[in-house]
Amino acid sequence: MSSPMWNADPDTLEVGTGSESRRIAMRILPAKSGNTLPTLIWLGGYRSDMTGTKAVELERHAADLGSACVRFDYSGHGASGGAFTDGTISRWLEESLAVIDHVGPERMVLVGSSMGCWVALRLIAELRARGQGAKIAGLVLIAPAPDFTSDLIEPNLSDAERTSLTERGYFEEPTPYGPDPNIFTAQLIEDGRKNRVLTGIIETGCPVHILQGMQDPDVPYGHALKLMEHLPSDDVVMTLIRDGDHRLSRLEDIERILAAVDAMSTG
């Protein structure tokens, strides 16, 4: 099968109505005729977009397999419309559900990265509530950061950051991943409390593979172990990568991720 058209203009989908309407950019690789493998759905991280290494390599791998692949940008990210500072887990979850409903895959493997893992877990809960849980063939979680606002940010806020949240509605934090600081809004943190998943047993009804770097400076590997404790009823595999960082975008990391995806797709 020929390689995907990496530079082609993305498809778009309008989500929300009135002042809440925003244009979501998607890249949809259709399955090769006759291919019955699950559709691969990429769910990116906070401030990441669908042109990142892992997302592109996932689509390239899908093209080699002949399976369908969907990647998209949340509002306020990449090629999508909307303001980043309006973003919340609920808002990005709504967009993720809209993209899946638009594509309509019969079966899918969700591949989440960092915050995208939180979105993936919420997605599964919503799909199961609809009676569509059987559509999920597997879940691959890369450096998972569920509940990061309440578990990783709030406990470590400085007095200055708390003051900024109260007075300005946000605070900024330097990041090694780009020249612009991360922005965390009070709205994101408040909404995060409503979307917590590490509060009891998480039932996905599908195999789960967690990949976590032990040198991750953003999400400590203990957080991934905590997540695993909340998945007692599922077939869960965890790969701890001793020298792995948060991005897990090295060649050897990509190979591990794709092997986990293959196990979900063909298992």
Between 185 and 4, residue with greater pLDDT: 185
CA atoms within 13 A of residue 120's CA, in its CB half-sphere: 32
CATH of 11-147+203-266, one of 3.40.50.1820, 1.10.1510.10, 3.40.1000.10, 3.40.50.720: 3.40.50.1820
Q: How confident is the model at residue 8 (pLDDT cuts 50, 70, 90)?
A: low
pLDDT of 7 strictly over 70: no
Residue 6 has pLDDT above 50, yes or no: no
pLDDT digits (tens, 9 = 90+) for 67-86: 999 999 999 999 999 999 99
Q: Are 138 and 109 in contact, with CB atoms under 8 Å apart?
A: yes
CB 258 within 8 A of CB 57: yes
- Rounded Cα distance between 110 and 243, Å, is 25
Mean pLDDT of 226-251: 95
Domain ranges of the chain: 11-147+203-266
User: Does the pLDDT at position 5 exceed 60?
Assistant: no
Q: Does 187 score more than 50 pLDDT?
A: yes
pLDDT at 4: 44
Confidence (pLDDT) at 9 = 79
> Residue 128 pLDDT > 80, yes or no?
yes
d(CA 5, CA 94): 27
- What pTM was computed for the model? 0.95
Average of per-residue pLDDT across 258-265 = 96
Tell me the per-residue pLDDT of 138-170, one tens digit each, with 9 for 90 and over.
999 999 999 999 999 999 999 999 999 999 999
Rounded CA separation 81/83 (Å): 7
Q: What is the pLDDT of residue 177?
A: 75
Confidence of residue 131 (pLDDT cuts 50, 70, 90): very high
pLDDT in the model for residue 66: 96
